[in-house]
Structure 1
Amino acid sequence: MTLWTPDIEPPHVPIRPLGWVLVSLRGLILGTVTFGCLGLLLLVRLVERPLHGLHRPWTPWIVQFVCATAFFILGIRYHVEGQRMQQPGAVVSNHVGWLDIFALNARKRVYFVSKSEVADWPGIGWLARATGTVFINRNPREAKAQQQIFEDRLLAGHKLLFFPEGTSTDGRRVLSFKPTLFQAFFTPHLVHEMYIQPVTLVYRAPVAADQRFYGWWGDMEFGPHLLQVLAAWRQGSVTVIYHPPLKVDDFTDRKALALAAEAAVRSGFPAELRDE
């Protein structure tokens, strides 16, 4: 996975005593809700899997509850614009950081597509596997097997979600979309049935904070960034904008589809937040 690495990162802001109180309280509550519900999800999945196989009629509700509750615990205002796609297919979005997982799961039943290394990350890897994340390895020799996994999941009704930028940013720009993963939707079994819904994520920083506050990119460490977010007394907001779905059959190839999805995502990005 390519890392987006600008020259200057946000300045480190020391956490004050009140901030550490918020870190403790929010961290305890968020951890309890997240891992408590993970345990519940695994128990429910013991029944759900033999009855429904790839279909998951129950456990996604647990994931949505956790993700929606996370914003309440953190104090981050959460807004939604547009209509969620009902047609079969996938969702694509700009990528700002780890909060995207909560933002995109809170209102829509999706299954993330992630690089294979994430499966081995402590904590995050367990959550990703339990919630049905599709892990991909960029080894060309495995391309056919991975294509079959995509088809099986899509034909089972899963809405896969991936970030075509290929990396996260500071939340003040949309990078060019890479067309590679769009190719999966042009197979004969899928091309006439699938839709792609572009989604724009717009983060606004807390008052007086660096406008890139919620961005997590490049070589930034997860722990310090998480602490900064937990410690913020007055939080900012995130807006999830759902754009009209794009019918795969209306495009000649993956590049045309990727460009159209990118244009839709850019159209929802406020001019006052752009650094481009």
Structure 2
Amino acid sequence: MNRPSRADAGRGDATWRDEIPPPVVRPHGLGDWLRVLRRGTGAVLVLLLGVLLILPLRGIERLFHGRRRPWSGPHVQMVCRLTLACMGIGWQRRGRPMQGPGAVVANHSSWLDILVLNAAMPVFFVSKAEVATWPGINILTRVTDTHFVVRDPRLAQDQAREFAERIGAGHRLLFFPEGTSTDGRRLLPFKPTLFQGFLDPALPDGLAIQPVSAVYQAPAGADTRFYGWWGDMDLGPHLLAVLAARRQGRVTVVLHDPIPVAGESRKTLAALCEDAVRRGIA
């Protein structure tokens, strides 16, 4: 998960951040706190049980499959679906996960993307290294084997080699080409530099990229940006506001047709994937 720094506010493609974020309504009254307790307790218990089960599962899986994740991947997928159900958030998937070697790119709107996109298909997020220190989220990222990257040109070759090894092991690495999270109402331009990694000759033949659109629908009567989490918004208050909502909204994950990498440049790949994701959220 990637969030903008304060310096982003001055960029030409980030002027939308000057908008005032929707007010984060804190729980008030017994009813709100009972919903927080009921939904939060259920979600935490499911996540804890999922973590406890995946540790021995991964140990056995490693003996038979090495770095491949044919068992623990679907396990994480089911845990995330159950967690969303405990939170009361509606969820559905359209389209089918790709077959064969490849990666996934998606729009980025919220901390909920971790649950929403893992629920759609077994994936491994690619995120900046700082996320590994975020309380709570760092547990999810480590259990789901998130691929952390450091923005340092001196480490580019080593990180490209790690990327190729994971793709070769059958991992579906998921990238956010916008480079930051948004308010969920728009799609920022995809950064072509990210797609350079897909052109590495060390990657398997037949590599493809599957664009994915995560479309959030706010609860009835709420601000359309209700689930969006960006800029300087604090995680705790936003999490409580989501759990306390009297009525929850829903999210639809649209899996688009995979785009073969062969014959494309980083710019054409970025354009093709951006167009697919944009059509999905439109």
TM-score (norm 2): 0.91
Distance 1:211 1:113 in 2: 27
1:209-234: CA deviation from partner (whole Å, max 9, x where unpaired)? 11100000011011111001101111
Q: Residue 273 of structure 1 corresponds to which residue in structure 2? A: none
2:212 corresponds to 1:199? yes
2:229 corresponds to 1:208? no
2:86 aligned residue (73, 94, 107): 73
SS of the residue corresponding to residue 197 of structure 1 reads strand
2:166 corresponds to 1:156? no
Q: Residue 245 of structure 2 corresponds to which residue in structure 1? A: 232
Q: Residue 267 of structure 1 corresponds to which residue in structure 2? A: 279
Unaligned 5+ runs, structure 1: 271-276
1:162 positional shift: 0.7
2:270 aligned residue (258, 266, 269): 258
1:10 aligned residue (19, 22, 29): 22
Q: Residue 188 of structure 1 corresponds to which residue in structure 2? A: 201
SS of the residue corresponding to residue 202 of structure 1 reads strand
1:86 positional shift: 1.2
* Preserved CA contact (<8 Å) 1:191 1:248: no
* Preserved CA contact (<8 Å) 2:43 2:86: yes
Q: Residue 33 of structure 2 corresponds to which residue in structure 1? A: 20
Distance 2:203 2:197 in 1: 8
1:194 positional shift: 0.7
1:97 positional shift: 0.6
Aligned residue type for 1:16: H
- Larger CA deviation: 144-153 vs 173-182: 173-182
1:121 positional shift: 2.2
Aligned length: 269
Could you say if the C-alpha distance between residues 192 and 223 of structure 1 is closer, same or farther in structure 2, counting changes exceeding 3 Å? same
Distance 2:169 2:203 in 1: 12
Q: Where does 1:102-121 land on structure 2 (aligned, <5 Å)?
A: 102-121=115-134
* Preserved CA contact (<8 Å) 1:116 1:136: yes
Distance 1:84 1:49 in 2: 23
Distance 1:191 1:255 in 2: 20
Distance 2:114 2:104 in 1: 13
Q: Residue 10 of structure 2 corresponds to which residue in structure 1? A: none
Q: Residue 150 of structure 2 corresponds to which residue in structure 1? A: 137
1:80 positional shift: 1.5
1:33 positional shift: 0.8
Distance 2:213 2:38 in 1: 31
| Aligned-CA RMSD value | 1.5
SS of the residue corresponding to residue 132 of structure 1 reads coil
SS of the residue corresponding to residue 10 of structure 1 reads coil
SS of the residue corresponding to residue 196 of structure 1 reads strand
Q: Residue 186 of structure 2 corresponds to which residue in structure 1? A: 173
* Preserved CA contact (<8 Å) 2:39 2:88: no
1:42 aligned residue (48, 55, 73): 55
SS of the residue corresponding to residue 106 of structure 1 reads helix
Aligned residue type for 1:72: A
Among all aligned residue pairs of Structure 1 and Structure 2, give the percentage whose two residues are the same amino acid: 52
Aligned residue type for 1:255: K
1:266 positional shift: 0.7
Q: Residue 8 of structure 2 corresponds to which residue in structure 1? A: none
* Preserved CA contact (<8 Å) 1:185 1:191: no
Distance 1:48 1:81 in 2: 29
TM-score (norm 1): 0.93
Runs of 4+ in 1 over 6 A off after TM superposition: none
